Structure 1
Amino acid sequence: MKKILLLTGDYAEDYETMVPYQMLLMVGYDVHAVCPGKKKGDTVKTAIHDFEGDQTYSEKPGHRFQLTYTFDLVNPEDYAGLVIVGGRAPEYLRLNEKVLEIVRYFFDKDLPVAAICHGIQILTTAGVVKGRTLTAYAAVGPEVTLAGGNYREVPPTEAVVDGNLVTSPAWPGHPAWIREFLRVIGIRISQ
């Protein structure tokens, strides 16, 4: 069975963790959901980010998400693709050198990567966006530009594809983001 690595952490966005995890299971992947400092069976607290007409998103308590694999056992060579979720977790996950090494491995090997919302902060810190076109939550756009990437502002329901990289501004883009990631990893869904 093919495996996908999903990086998450405490206060990751709930939908951005649960939905891609469940969708990838549905199409037959073994998804190793991991968080630095945690092992299989541990949980992370998630947060629900909502768009209610304020100048930024609001945050509400989400669910406890159970990790399916131990971070310290991750060998990037075992995976067909990488998913990086958003929320607040990326702001501290990007401080973990092993996280950055894992991300660089996927880019060095030109393997499929899906990142959403604030998950792009991990990509900018890993130094893998230079010359790439991608989107993110609007507040992360300046980081993309500073890291040498081409930030593309798109509606939150859209996704941007640049080779092996699929990005979206936020969870309202799940249909486009997941559809494009499935296409990049070679899954075809026909009606």
Structure 2
Amino acid sequence: MTKTANLLMLVGDYVEDYEVMVPFQALQMVGHVVHAVCPDKKAGQYVRTAIHDFEGDQTYSEKRGHNFVLNATFADIRLKDYSGLVIPGGRAPEYLRLNPRVLEIVRHFAEADMPIAALCHGPQLLAAARVIAGKRVNAYPACAPEVELAGATFVSLEVTDAIADGNLVTGPAWPAHPAWLAKFLEVLEKYLTK
């Protein structure tokens, strides 16, 4: 990696535990700055996480996770300071999509054709912001109807895979972290060096 970036991560209470912590740490490990923010919360406060697991039931199971400490204040972010957006899944996207400022933020990155990585239920924010029409998108399979209603093509993938369409990288859930993060880093590198 030749260049580093400031990345914005949108989270909320009951964000999926692995899906917030793993990319937060991994992206920092390779030199990027990641600011994790939540509406109505400040740096030093935390969001509660949920652990979603795949245990042979018809859908994922859900258990209480950890407290994830925010390192930036939502009200203070300046979008011009960031080169990419990360949207973890879990329960948070289903209510974050009701926040007009969150949707503005998502639209800002999409309209500027900046790198966006969304995982699992994260594409619910993309659908609500109406920024995926014409895109090839993956998400947790239960989100496929929302993705398609927003005008995107839902691409079915193995749980360990991810897809990139332009500067948008999506995947089904945390087992896809290696593929999802690798594709996002490729997209980000191209964006930073153009």
User: TM-score scaled by structure 1?
Assistant: 0.96
Identity of aligned residues (%): 60
- The separation in 2 between residues aligned to 1:124 and 1:76, in whole angstroms, is 20
Which residue in 1 is equivalent to 2:28? 25
Q: State the AA in 1 paired with 2:21.
A: M
Q: Does 1:90 align with 2:119?
A: no
Which of 113, 116, 135 is matched with 2:116 structurally?
113
Q: State the AA in 2 paired with 1:46.
A: T
Which residue in 1 is equivalent to 2:46? 43
- The separation in 1 between residues aligned to 2:47 and 2:133, in whole angstroms, is 31
Q: Does 1:159 align with 2:162?
A: yes
Q: What CA deviation, in whole Å up to 9, does each residue of 1:27-82 have, x standing for no partner?
A: 11111000001000000000110000000000111110000000011111110100
Q: State the AA in 2 paired with 1:53.
A: G
- The separation in 2 between residues aligned to 1:183 and 1:27, in whole angstroms, is 12
Q: Where does structure 2 lack aligned partners over 5 or more consecutive residues?
A: none
- The separation in 1 between residues aligned to 2:157 and 2:110, in whole angstroms, is 23
Please give the residue correspondences for 1:1-20 in structure 2 after superposition, counting only pairs within 5 Å. 2-20=5-23
- The separation in 2 between residues aligned to 1:2 and 1:129, in whole angstroms, is 24
Which of 132, 145, 148 is matched with 1:145 structurally?
148
Q: Where does structure 1 lack aligned partners over 5 or more consecutive residues?
A: none
Which residue in 1 is equivalent to 2:189? 186
User: TM-score scaled by structure 2?
Assistant: 0.95
Which residue in 1 is equivalent to 2:130? 127
- The separation in 2 between residues aligned to 1:110 and 1:75, in whole angstroms, is 17
Residue 2 of structure 1 deviates from its aligned partner by 2.6
Q: State the AA in 2 paired with 1:144.
A: V
